[in-house]
Amino acid sequence: MTQIRYRTADVDGFKVFYREAGSPRSPKLLLLHGFPSSGHMFRDLIPLLADRFHIVAPDLPGFGQSDMPDRAAFQYSFDNLARVIDRFTEVIGFNRYAVYVFDYGAPTGFRLALRHPERIAAIISQNGNAYVDGLSDGWNPIRAYWQEPSAANREALRAILTPETTRWQYVHGVADETLVSPDGYMLDSHYLARPGADEVQLDLFLDYASNVALYPEFQAYFRKHRPPFLAVWGKNDPFFLPPGAEAFRRDLPDAEIRFFDTGHFALETHAREIADAIRVFLAQ
């Protein structure tokens, strides 16, 4: 049985909750979750890798069990998410690590790489986008909010925060929905229902435009530093399309690209296959 410890770190007064497993003497692996999830999304992956890696999976600020301060005290932007997680890695002694990025975890993790390229041993991207090629038409309502951040366009996005939409994100593109545990999307819906959580997420929808603006810088980082790179992609993802995975090869010709017949939350159905791919990739 793998022991997983559930800890909190004081990051300059900000409480970051995280899951930790594996020996501190093993190579380090940082897992960064996406919207609207938490480190809980890695519950099946961590036991499959903990014999080989020292794994840490924090909840991003405003997500899961990490602090969700009032918007008047903390600006919910991807720069700030990355700033807190960057300091978190320093507090827990992650001075060089491979990083697994998914969804919101990708622009967070890629910002860490821009700031400290010497700390990044490798990148695993599971539906973590860095190219316009990967953005589907499912982003159009959010794009409209970027172009005109009106109250009406903000209000229109509340439909994305409903339990029905959260469940849809988990099961869309999955051949057999009975393989998807309701625990993940029910827990996400619980966190989204907390007072003020809706406004936090709407702020981040607006700020996601900053990630697209940084795509050229992320791509320049890939070309300059050539980190070992593995994409493990749910090919039926309604938000991040397969061309977004294939685009990494433009800047990282040696990138390994693996597609799985599943949706956005690929770990719900393919945790073992993804773990096997990671073990081979990081053993090279």
pLDDT tens digit string along 67-81?
999 999 999 999 999
Nearest to 78 by CA among 110, 100, 120: 110
- Confidence band for 27, pLDDT divided at 50, 70 and 90: very high
Distances (CA, A) of 23 to 40, 139, 274: 20, 40, 21
pLDDT for position 184: 97
CA end-to-end span of the chain, whole Å? 27
pLDDT for position 284: 84
Question: What element of type H or E holds 152?
Answer: helix 151-156
Rounded to 5°, the CA angle 61-63-65 comes to 95
- Confidence band for 158, pLDDT divided at 50, 70 and 90: very high
51-66 burial: b if 16+ Cβ within 10 Å, else e: ebbbbbbbbbbbbbbb
pLDDT for position 2: 86
pLDDT for position 189: 98
Tokens at 105, concatenated: 């975890």
Looking at residue 10, the DSSP 8-state letter turns out to be E
Task: Determine phi and psi for 7, rounding to 5 degrees.
Answer: -125, 170
Secondary structure E strands in the chain: 5-11, 14-21, 28-32, 54-58, 97-102, 120-126, 229-234, 256-260
The residues assigned a catalytic role are: 264
Coil, strand, or helix at residue 64? Answer: coil
- Confidence band for 56, pLDDT divided at 50, 70 and 90: very high
pLDDT for position 68: 98
Handedness of CA 217, 222, 225, 231 (dihedral sign): positive
Match 């007072």 to its residue by tokens: 195
Distance CA 60, CA 17 (A): 8
Is residue 96's pLDDT more than 90? yes
Match 């994305």 to its residue by tokens: 160
Is residue 1's pLDDT more than 80? no
